[in-house]
Structure 1
Amino acid sequence: MDVVVDPEVPEEDARVLRESTGLLARIRNGWAPRRLSSRRLGLGSALIMGLMGFLAVCTLMIFIGLARTGPGLTILGFVGFIIFTAAFINQPVDAEDEEEAADREIYERARRHHGRYVLVDDLDESSARLLNRTRGAIRAITGAAVNADGLLDTASNAVTLRAQEWEIARLLAKLSSLRGEHRRTMAKNLAPEVAAIAEPLGRALEASENAVVRRVEALEGYAAHVAEAERAYQAHLQVEELRARLPKYEQLVAEAGATAVPELERLSDDAEALQRALGRTLESARDAFRYLDG
């Protein structure tokens, strides 16, 4: 199971949510941590424990012969009563174990950020495909060397792409939920007039999905521009590597007394042409990103 988290959620909370998808699914299905009773014994319970202490001390004193008179027995018993009452009134009870405490902490974070994360398993089939396309485009962009080497606006990419993934996932989650409700409604034996009223709702769902598809296609378009720039950049790096070795070839030709190879002389010109082509593809990618970011 996977989860998409709103990038505005604090990073530590987002990390916990991403690592707790199994528990998040249980929370979605109605699970909640058990209610804890009072963490301390009340005064009444403590007094009972104190009375038990009083009787225990009296019995012990009589047994060992330390209290042979009524007043002495009463004083020692009263001391025992005070000691036991003070001890038990602050006695912790019903403490959670570590696993319960961890689950409770996750539950509180999930409740605090309700509506700001999407479980991918909650998406219907069509929505899941669109989210996969979204993530594929994002991986292609962020994994490109032109992005890693800073030829694109890497910082803006990171922020904008995360925001795009979240917005698309959020819309797809709402679309999946409403579409499921609509399908269940339409599966009933509706009266003709009710079916007629429900038809525009179906068209609204289709229009909403088409709008999300356009978002995904815009992202894929940007990824295509980045891929083109990536090919030009890799070719540029390869030509630069060859050009760096050009003096060695020229030296070898001169030492051997051979005729200069014309292609070697054109290598620098080819590298410059490729550099200009790279500049054009990068600018094209930046234009696509500005459209996406807008």
Structure 2
Amino acid sequence: MATTRAGNRRIRIIVDPALPEETATVLGDNALMLEKVRKGWKPLPPPRKRSAASLAVKGMLTALALVAAVFVGAGLLVEIVLSLTLVGLVVAAIRAAGDAEDRLSPEHVLYGLAEDCRESYLLEEDFDDAARELLVRTRTAAGSILGSRVNAEGLLDDVRNTVVLPAQEWEIARLLAKLSALRAEHRTLMAGGVTPEVSAAVRPLERVLAESEKAVVARVEAIERYAAHVARAEQAQRAHDQLRAFAERLPRYEELLAESGADALAVPEVGRLAEEADELERALRDSLGAAREVFGHLDGSPGGS
């Protein structure tokens, strides 16, 4: 979903993941231009220029027209037909040259795209501070899940992750943008003080804002819980791999003890490396199971994968 940098708390642009990938990439890479468009900027109309080649083609057309006129006067039918054919070819060449020269600039293409997709992207200015903070939390949690080793290795439902998490992120962003706009309007209308009657009348509206924010926070926290389970699974997998690696080297440790005559100092715990690795593997499976359960809650499917 679009490009943001949660690390520096910036939410420059968020793009609806339902857009075609090429369109989403163009929008995501041009946040500054979209901000200008949002503020009313429009590109100048493209100038209609003609190259030297185009002017030369026009000259040829004029010359051919004069030749055709001479042939008509002389009654030369075949020559007239050939001339008209050449005229047609020249006209086609002129049109092709004009089309190439009048092709829209990247700015015009991007402006048209921004207008066509105006409901499919959100900019930083669409969010107030509280909403921006929630969005950063969402992106941080989703990014840690999608970037995790357990996800990359397919231990999670990586395919559904790449679909569900961006969709959840977009839905959270869309709701936060609406909430931010309504909160701003509410503050404006309440500015300068209100009578007790107005204060009582708008109290239900304020509860709507508060409850809506609470519901969005619950969505964010669900993604964060999923990310926490994934982090625990990641940690368990790393520890499991380390212990397995030590267990594979255990015979060399035992050989060293025997050759050095220090085998009497061997501690029984050394032999438990493999057992502890097995315990961590079970912990890893439990963590992955818990993560899938939370993920199932996120995308509405029972039990996850």
Identify the TM-score tier after normalising by the shorter chain: 0.7 to 0.9
Gaps of at least 5 residues in structure 1 are 41-48, 54-82
Q: Deviations over 1:47-99 (max 9, x none)?
A: xx99xx9xxxxxxxxxxxxxxxxxxxxxxxxxxxxx9xx99x97959x66x8x
Q: Which amino acid aligns with 2:41?
A: W
Partner of 1:22: 32
Which of 146, 153, 159 lines up with 1:155 in the alignment? Answer: 159
Deviation at 1:145, TM superposition (A): 1.7
Shift in Å, 1:172? 0.8
Q: Which secondary structure does the structure 2 equivalent of 1:202 belong to?
A: helix
Give 1:254 deviation, angstroms: 4.0
TM-superposition CA deviations, 1:165-211 (whole Å, max 9, x none): 11111111111111111111111555554444333222211111111
197, 203, 215: which one pairs with 2:201?
197
**Alignment partners' CA distance in 2, 1:108 and 1:212:** 32
Which of 107, 124, 138 aligns to 1:120? It is: 124
Does the aligned pair in 1 maintain the 2:244–2:273 contact within 8 Å? no
Report Cα offsets for 1:251-289 as digits up to 9, x if no partner: 333444534542232222221112111111111111111
1:269 aligns with 2:279: no
Name the structure 1 match of 2:288: 282
Partners in 1 of 2:279 and 2:142 — Cα distance? 30
Matched, 1:170 2:174: yes
Larger radius of gyration between Structure 1 and Structure 2: 1
Q: CA deviation at 1:16?
A: 0.5
For structure 2, the 5+ residue unaligned runs are 1-10, 51-57, 63-86, 301-305
Count matched residues. 252
Report the identity percentage: 48
Q: Aligned runs of 1:45-84 on 2, under 5 Å?
A: none
Report the residue type matching 1:133 in the other structure.
Answer: R
Calculate the TM-score normalised by the size of structure 2: 0.73
Distance 1:160 1:211 in 2: 18
- Root-mean-square deviation (Å): 3.1
Find the partner of 2:115 among 111, 116, 139: 111
Please state how far the C-alpha of 1:36 moved relative to its aligned partner. Answer: 5.3
CA deviations over 1:4-26 (Å, ceiling 9, x no partner): 11110001110010111111111
The residue correspondences of 1:186-265 to structure 2 (distance < 5 A) are 186-188=190-192, 190=194, 192-256=196-260, 258-259=263-264, 261-265=267-271
1 CA distance for matches of 2:176 and 2:259?
68
Q: Deviations along 1:152-172, whole A, 9 cap, x unmatched?
A: 111111111111111111111
TM-aligned CA deviation for residue 231 of structure 1: 1.4
Q: Work out whether 1:4 is the aligned partner of 2:21.
A: no
Q: Distance in 2 between matches of 1:19 and 1:237?
A: 39
The structural deviation recorded for 1:3 is 0.7
Using the TM superposition, give the Cα deviation of residue 123 of structure 1 relative to its aligned residue in structure 2, in angstroms.
0.8
Instruction: Mark the CA change 1:256 to 1:189 in structure 2 (over 3 Å): closer, same or farther.
Output: closer
State the alpha-carbon separation in 1 of the partners of residues 216 and 192 from structure 2: 28
Match of 1:292 in 2: 298
Letter in 1 for 2:204: P
